[in-house]
A and B are shown apart, each in its own frame.
Chain A
Amino acid sequence: EAQVTQNPRYLITVTGKKLTVTCSQNMNHEYMSWYRQDPGLGLRQIYYSMNVEVTDKGDVPEGYKVSRKEKRNFPLILESPSPNQTSLYFCASSLSRAGDEQYFGPGTRLTVT
């Protein structure tokens, strides 16, 4: 089954404790991205990747890191999480660019206390 997976689905952590949210897709998509979704603000892009070893900032990259060492994986790293990063996070992939249909993962609900 074609899908985007994310882990963990739910995470409660404390300020400053490094964490990684994994994302993997099995559709051989080139384009992958991370979004955060907050009430009233919609989906905002954090980082995106056009292909292996090619990443770039989205609209809200501060406090996040990403890497793309393999085509299928695109982990999101929070080196020192803060409460304002409490949000619902979605990983998405598409065939080759942002304008293609985005396939979203199930979401990760992160709470930073």
Chain B
Amino acid sequence: QKEVEQNSGPLSVPEGAIASLNCTYSDRGSQSFFWYRQYSGKSPELIMSIYSNGDKEDGRFTAQLNKASQYVSLLIRDSQPSDSATYLCAAHDYKLSFGAGTTVTVRA
């Protein structure tokens, strides 16, 4: 079993819609969780971090964490074509583990 698993996608959403990305992790000791965005041919960049249960909002992005269910999600509201990218979920305990990523395409 992979330590961090993401819905494989690809995920295609119309412009203006909500994109919902899911991630589960196996290590109950994980305390910090991250979402990185990676455009095609580029390096990952951090867009959200979340450390406690509940929701965290930053602009059009909302991260949700449920430690009891070992589940992290990312919502992208009002999706724009510039949001088309691969989104990587990562969980940190003593090390940082990444999921394989979910590719999102926002169609105009």
Query: Which A residues are within 8 Å of any B CB, using their own CB?
Result: 35, 40-45, 58, 90, 98-99, 101-102, 104-107
Contacts of A107 in B (CB 8 A): 42-43
Q: Are A105 and B43 within 8 A (Cβ)?
A: yes
Instruction: Tell whether A42 pairs with B43 under 8 Å between CB atoms, given A99-B32, A99-B92.
Output: no
* Distance A102 CA – B32 CA, assembled complex (angstroms): 13
Compute the total of residue contacts between A and B using a CB distance below 8 Å: 41
Contact at B95–A58, with CB atoms within 8 Å? yes
In the assembled complex, which residues on chain A have CB atoms less than 8 Å from the CB atom of B98?
A: 35, 42-44
Of B31, B46, B94, B101, which is within 8 A of A102 by CB? B46
Which residue of B42, B45, B46, B95 contacts A98 across the interface (Cβ within 8 Å)? B95
Query: Which of chain A's residues have a CB closer than 8 A to the CB of B32?
Result: 99
